[in-house]
Structure 1
Amino acid sequence: MAPDGRQSPTNGLYIANLHDSTVSIAVTDAGDARRDWPERSDWNPSGDRIACSSFGDIILCDPDGGNPFRIACCENGRCSHLEWSPDGRDILYDFISSESPRLAHVGILHASDGALDEIFAASFQNSYLLSWAGEGTRVAYLIENRGYDNGFVVDLERPSRSRPSIMISYILFFVLPAGCIAWWHMRSENDQETAKEEVR
């Protein structure tokens, strides 16, 4: 990834042929060349597709730039990690939004249909490491903060329990108290009506 012209504000994806030392540009207008961090790119394991980031999107294309497929990942964001899975089916990505420069959004892009699954978002202060683990069945994430480090391992084959736990928390902390308050209020009104009738 490099500027696609001497005075160009945008990057391009260049392919270097190691056999004849030629360099050709495969994708133009791929990212902002004025940003501090370069855009990312990665070959798939079979070597017939390339993933590169551009203005918060991920572009999949052939080595010559053909058959481009652009997927919107993070609006006003920049990609800090892009890595194909060992089986070549998924892409591990990490986007940092300009609105939240200390919050990294980690997700999986399915190369076959462009579907996105955000795994989690985590804050960091200094740096981080992100990679596939367990032959592509897990994602390992290490965050370096001031004075302490945080590590995550996400098992992609284990069903997510986040939604049931969110629903249980919602019921315990919102629905149940609201029901108790409504029941107490109705009972108080009934007691007042009973007291009025007894007075009459």
Structure 2
Amino acid sequence: LKRKLLLDFSLGKQEFPRQFGWHLVLNSRDPSPSPTHHPSPSTFFIKTLNLTSVSYLTNQTVSSLVSNFHSLESLTITKCNGLRSLRIDDVSNLQNLTILDCPQLKSLYIEAYELTSFRYRGLLCWFSLRGLHFLADAMLDFREGPGYSRFEYQHFDLLLLAMRNVKILTLCRWIFEAIISPWL
């Protein structure tokens, strides 16, 4: 049993998607069974979750569902038009996080103490990364540049500082041309 769930909410192209903020609380309760503890029927043992095209209309339902996934190890979020801010709080377990092609994303807050792999492709947004002590592999692809008009180098410095222990860091060409090369 792979314990994998794919949820795709694509309905075709939304011309003007309603913007929303999304707060996901993952692994909020201790899933370890005790001799007297029996999992509730609403607890799902999903290890991998792929979410595509979550929108303003579906994000609360998805958040409620995801809060019951106490064994989640891998989360992928893609093509969420209208997603303006994303906050992921994880008490434990989440090891792989991928966020791709969410064109309106302006801020991303992640607190994940077991995260070992992080992939991000989209506009350079405001990042707050906490608890990434075990992060070994990261990919940052901001090929379309910053998602806001006033780009300041210290924002990128804070992002790299949060990833200072990463063993493998993959950066796109835009980062090298716009940020690193002027300093060389």
Shorter-chain-normalised TM-score: which range?
under 0.3
Q: Which has the higher contact order (CA 8 A, sep 6+)?
A: 2
Higher strand share: 1
Q: What TM-score results when the alignment is normalised by the length of structure 2?
A: 0.25
TM-score if structure 1 supplies the norm length?
A: 0.24
Richer in helix (by share): 1
Higher alpha-carbon Rg:
1
